[in-house]
Structure 1
Amino acid sequence: MIPIDQCEDKEWILPTRTGGYASSTICGINARTYHGYLIVPLNPPHFRFLVLSKFDDFLILNHEEYPLSTNHYPGAYYPEGYKYLVKFEKNNSKVIWYYNFGYSEVKKSLLVHKGYNAITVNYNATKGRVKICPFITFRSHHIAKKAQNEFFTYDVISPNHIDILFEGKKILNLEIDEKFELKNTGYWYYNFLYKLDQELGNNYIEDLYNPFCIVSLTNRISVHAYVGEKPKSYTEEEEHHHMDILKLLSTAGKDFVVKGKDGWAIIAGYHWFDEWGRDTFISLEGLLLIDGQFTIAEDIIFRYLKMENKGMLPNNFLNYSGEPIYRGVDVSLWAINAIYKTYLYSRNKNFISKTYQDILEIIDWYSKGNGIIFNIDNLIFHKGSPRTWMDASYDGKVVTPREGAAVEINALWYNAVKIAEYISKELGENSDEFAEKAEKIRNSFVKKFVYENGLYDYIDWDMKPDASIRPNQIFAISLPFPVIDDKLMASKILSVVESKLLRPYGLSSLARGDPKYKPVYKGDRKSRDEAYHNGPIWPWLLGSYVDAKIKIENNPIEIKLLIEQFKPLITHAIENQGYISEIFDDIPPYKPRGCIAQAWSNAEVYRALVAISKI
């Protein structure tokens, strides 16, 4: 038996590669609004809805019912299937529960069909039959919902096909293998409690509808649930067990790359993040380029470039319509970096020829300003916040405003201009203008940002520097064209990052001892946002750290030893089907927090490990 207090904190997720997913906990207790057997994007990859929450399921043996499922209600767990659960297994496409009832054993598995909004749930009992009662809803995966005047019905289309309807419109297809009895119920179940949402101060009580129960006539039964296109086959793809860490990260990384209605996209994180421009361009190399997926990478870049507006590319999109939102001042600069990386891998001159004018357009706007971006003494200042990746806010208050000239924005700005110089040469164009501009940027950067303890984090509009020790300075020495090229200065910056911020799970977002430092990400929205970029560890920053380490020290033995240092993070990935969490607390036991699967965490850790393996 798995103790009940261990059930709700241990989550699993199986993305469908459509933007949707299946997710719950090891005991099958839904503990978040985001948990459910089938979450699907209604405006792919945006506007994700939960349609099938779970099955309440039972073994029928000698006219008695024994529960497989468990639900959490206020003050009670019922039924108590967790008491019979003896083992739980998971891989990249399937989770398996093993139950022992003494006189019978049951194996239950849930399989997602990659590329479809579809799952299959299989049951195999050594003795007895199985009763399956689906819990239905139709809501955004962000918001739990109470029963209202909603009208769910179902149509039996054929002996093994049932359609579920909401307000007269089909929302779910169910197909059942093997013969079964269908027992009409039509019950609302009230007050499901989602423990993890309760801890976060979110909406955590939900009502769910059960239209009927399916009772198998034998000891085996499979239920297929899908929305939209039916999978071509319900057979399981071959699963490669015992993959090494690189293969595991590569395989898991594919689950963030989805085909939306407007083309390919990258989901920033499961469960709640949608498509984000910044995360997309940072993740592109680790999710696509390393494994040779050049065409998809190019398609994503072209799609974003079509949305350019006064030099800016969208950082995110409205959930319902997918309309672009222009907020981040670094997104376009990360895009130029991604164009450069894509070309280095593909050597496709046609690609850089097609993107060249877009690069020039972006650099022109960053040079003259657009009302958000201002070019002062060759450096990029910005107004309004949050505009950088440190973007937490609540109740209209920005936690880490960094308004002015941010260190990583200007490192990216220099890098982008140098890339323009490089691509100009590749295409036989005059590059002198960019070489001169880059030198001016470098001189201004050194003058404004360098001080005895490394680099300032940002310069505000009163030209007052902020000396908070944050990981943003790593980009000045890690990008393909580092703005700090003086070896001694670069070594000093690296030393500051290593001594103050480097952890086994990534880089801390703020040095210990700073008055703003908050190492643990928990509590209500205000508490979490105040901590978000003020202490917790971010794994995605390891990619840039390893880049800097290789550039500056290039000591093969020491770089290889980083694998040992990052073993806790590697273990975390192995235990989580190859997925890496968004953040970790900055104090032992370094609890993972935020999204349980984050695109740039996976991409940048994979990229870092590949780079180390080549030393």
Structure 2
Amino acid sequence: MIDITFGPQVCGELASAATREWLVPDGLGGYAMGTVAGLRTRRYHGLLVVAGETPASRRVGLASLDPAVVHPSGARVRLGAHEWASGDVDPRGFELLERFDLTDGVPRWRWRIGDVVIERELATVHGRPCVAVVHRLVTGGPVRLELAAACTWRDAHGERRADGPTPRMDPVADGAVVEGSFRLSGPGWVPEGQWWLGAHHREEAARGLHPDEDLWYAGRFVGALDRPGDTVSVLAWAGDLAEEPPPGPEVVAAARARNRAVVAAAQPVDPVEATLVLAADAFVIGTGRGPDVVAGYPWFGAWSRDTMISYEGLFLCTGRADEGRELLRAYAATLSEGMCANTADTGRVEYNTVDGTLWFLHAVSRHVTVTGDTDLGAELLPGLRGVIDAHVAGTRFGIVVDPADGLLTQGAPGVALTWMDARVYGVPVTPRAGKPVEVNALWINGLAGLAELAEQAGQDAAGLWRLHDRAVSAFRERFPAPTGWLHDVVDAPAPAYPLGGAAVHDDDLLRPNQLLAWSLPYAPLDPDEPTLRRVAAGLLTPLGPRSLSPDAPEFVGRHRGGPAERDGAYHQGTVWPWLLGPFVDASRRAKLPVDELFVGIEAHLTEFGLGSVSETAEGLPPHRATGCPFQAWSVAELLRVRRVR
């Protein structure tokens, strides 16, 4: 894997160390997450964050475990880091860091206090909500190590304040149970019980959200580090509180071994690919219903569109086809009126996308093509044919094949059904009603893929091919625009008319959605160099294509501010790294060189979410990363198109 290591000049400067984040997932949708500096900059940061009924219904438990070194003389040096509502940063333990590294997915900090050097490593137990934090004396000593446990028990999207109930603390051997929900265990437990008021999260302040919370100082662990090699470990876990995890050093060793095995199973060809394979592993989780995909950390849960776009990269490129088969079966079971459920972070099952189902067709087709698993194709074929029938007849939100041209149209008041689905105060920013270009490319791709599955199963596919051929003919006639690229939407309601009005127009804004018309396996068009160069000139950045060309009046170059400002910019110029996948595919099909397209995004692997790829970036230079630091489809698409090389 690539080398992710920072020395004292990065570690000791908050502007650098507090903007680089690490993630250690638990395989269930929970995680430990923080910054190189050790400073909690988000309400989502913590050492034990536990997934609930859905991956997005997470709760923060152990917020931080702050080390302090006590010398024989009684001198005490604090190594933790907190920012407070007053603006103070205290303590400032990051100033004593001489090194941070992320090796085999395990973060490690190394503090130097004169001749005393202490390392901390952190790992989770895969498949269990449990974290181990291990401290080791490297040189110097003897010293005493104190570890202050700052706790809470709250929804990860909120905060808890001291004016509410005091957390319940139940003493148990070697520690305590907090709120009856998670347990702390380690040496020399000394209960305390007081509020730390006004812990500040600078990233939440930047996002226009409430930035402060109060933390409960539950107590401290105390252990001796007499000679080099001695360790002091603390464990925190939820679930079965009576079942103690293995000792901390064993948890760390097991995590390293598992992560190496995950990478080896995918047979990566270079360190970047190995890093992406391990990054992909974070998003594939186990649930009571089988495998699923977390769309992004730290705040997203499972979304079918994200899952299906990510499917090939997360499952087929990493040797996880067996898990993928199980996942596809589970999603097929959600089909209703020809639509795949878009499982939501709220925990409700919703049917509210026009493209999620079409991406599902694509995922099934790719699975059968790559693995040769024609049995799965035959098994799912009746449901997939039902998807086509429902789209031809018409289903929710005006989704229907237009009998006039065979293209797929969609739209209803107040909804945004494509992946550009942001809303501000309930109003879609880019409703894209009509016939979106990528939706119809996916429709054509899905018809051809399904026709091949039918033929492999010995079934008649003539009707599917007729639908396909008619849509292709109409696509080639309707979507090329006089501007030299493709229309983003044809037959869109004209701006002067309400949705459903008589007047329509063809939207020729330069957006990246058209890339799918050239990139999909059964794409309706063959890419040509001049068109791709025009698209690249207007959209391409080091981290992927923008969602809108900068010369458009609606372009927003900065993705920052409060929720309304950020959502308003989300698809109006913000960069989406996942779209680099379709751009590379289209470029390859046009016989254009692609190796240089990866340079910026590969460098990004050490800049934001360490070893991973962010959800978004700003449309204007220097293209500051935004959104989730760890995003499934960003990682999956980069991994997929790199593996083709």
TM-score (norm 2): 0.88
Note the residue ranges of structure 1 that are not aligned, 5 or more in a row: none
Q: 1:4 to 1:443 in 2, by over 3 A?
A: closer
- The corresponding residue for 1:572 is 604
Q: In the alignment, is residue 203 of structure 1 matched against residue 234 of structure 2? A: no
- The corresponding residue for 1:432 is 462
- The corresponding residue for 1:193 is 200
Structure 1 Cα separation of the partners of residues 344 and 472 of structure 2: 34
Q: In the alignment, is residue 476 of structure 1 matched against residue 525 of structure 2? A: no
Q: In the alignment, is residue 289 of structure 1 matched against residue 316 of structure 2? A: yes
Q: 1:96 to 1:498 in 2, by over 3 A?
A: same
Secondary structure of 1:303's aligned partner = helix
Which residue of the other structure, out of 455, 479, 482, is the alignment partner of 2:486?
455
Equivalent residue letter for 2:400: F
Aligned-residue offset at 1:550: 2.1
- The corresponding residue for 2:283 is 256
Judge conservation of contact 1:9–1:196 (CA < 8 Å) in 2.
Answer: no
Aligned-residue offset at 1:472: 0.4
Q: Which stretch has the larger CA shift, 491-500 or 357-366? A: 491-500
Which residue of the other structure, out of 402, 407, 415, is the alignment partner of 2:432?
402
Equivalent residue letter for 1:594: G
- The corresponding residue for 2:70 is 60
Secondary structure of 2:251's aligned partner = coil
- The corresponding residue for 2:93 is 81
- The corresponding residue for 1:136 is 151
Structure 1 Cα separation of the partners of residues 468 and 95 of structure 2: 65
Q: 1:217 to 1:578 in 2, by over 3 A?
A: closer
Encode CA deviations 1:494-533: one digit per residue, 9 max, x unaligned.
Answer: 2332222222211111112110111221111122112111
Secondary structure of 1:513's aligned partner = coil
Equivalent residue letter for 1:286: G
Considering only aligned residues, what root-mean-square deviation do their CA atoms show, in Å? 2.0
Aligned-residue offset at 1:163: 3.6
Alignment of 1:384-423 (within 5 A): 384=412, 385-423=415-453
Equivalent residue letter for 2:197: Y
Alignment of 1:89-100 (within 5 A): 89-100=101-112
Structure 2 Cα separation of the partners of residues 83 and 415 of structure 1: 55
Aligned-residue offset at 1:92: 4.7
Judge conservation of contact 2:391–2:401 (CA < 8 Å) in 1.
Answer: yes
Judge conservation of contact 2:317–2:639 (CA < 8 Å) in 1.
Answer: no
Q: Which stretch has the larger CA shift, 274-283 or 101-110? A: 101-110
Encode CA deviations 1:428-463: one digit per residue, 9 max, x unaligned.
Answer: 111111111111112222232222222110121333
Structure 1 Cα separation of the partners of residues 176 and 51 of structure 2: 19
Structure 2 Cα separation of the partners of residues 182 and 340 of structure 1: 56
Structure 1 Cα separation of the partners of residues 564 and 439 of structure 2: 27
Aligned-residue offset at 1:4: 3.4
Q: Which stretch has the larger CA shift, 573-582 or 16-25? A: 573-582
Secondary structure of 1:295's aligned partner = helix
Q: In the alignment, is residue 173 of structure 1 matched against residue 183 of structure 2? A: yes
Q: 1:542 to 1:375 in 2, by over 3 A?
A: same
- The corresponding residue for 1:271 is 298
Structure 2 Cα separation of the partners of residues 522 and 64 of structure 1: 44
Equivalent residue letter for 2:622: P
Equivalent residue letter for 1:333: L
Which residue of the other structure, out of 615, 618, 639, is the alignment partner of 1:582?
615
Encode CA deviations 1:289-324: one digit per residue, 9 max, x unaligned.
Answer: 1223111111111111111111111223253xx331
Q: Which stretch has the larger CA shift, 374-383 or 183-192? A: 374-383
- The corresponding residue for 1:36 is 46
- The corresponding residue for 2:222 is 215
- The corresponding residue for 1:333 is 358
- The corresponding residue for 1:245 is 272
- The corresponding residue for 2:569 is 531
Aligned-residue offset at 1:400: 1.2
Of all paired residues, the percent bearing the same amino acid is: 27
Which residue of the other structure, out of 13, 19, 30, is the alignment partner of 1:20?
30
Q: Which stretch has the larger CA shift, 432-441 or 236-245? A: 236-245
Structure 2 Cα separation of the partners of residues 389 and 188 of structure 1: 43
Judge conservation of contact 1:33–1:141 (CA < 8 Å) in 2.
Answer: yes
Equivalent residue letter for 1:420: L
Structure 1 Cα separation of the partners of residues 35 and 75 of structure 2: 26
- The corresponding residue for 2:498 is none
- The corresponding residue for 1:544 is 582
TM-score (norm 1): 0.92
Secondary structure of 1:119's aligned partner = strand
Judge conservation of contact 2:301–2:345 (CA < 8 Å) in 1.
Answer: no
Aligned-residue offset at 1:210: 1.3
Note the residue ranges of structure 2 that are not aligned, 5 or more in a row: 1-7, 494-502
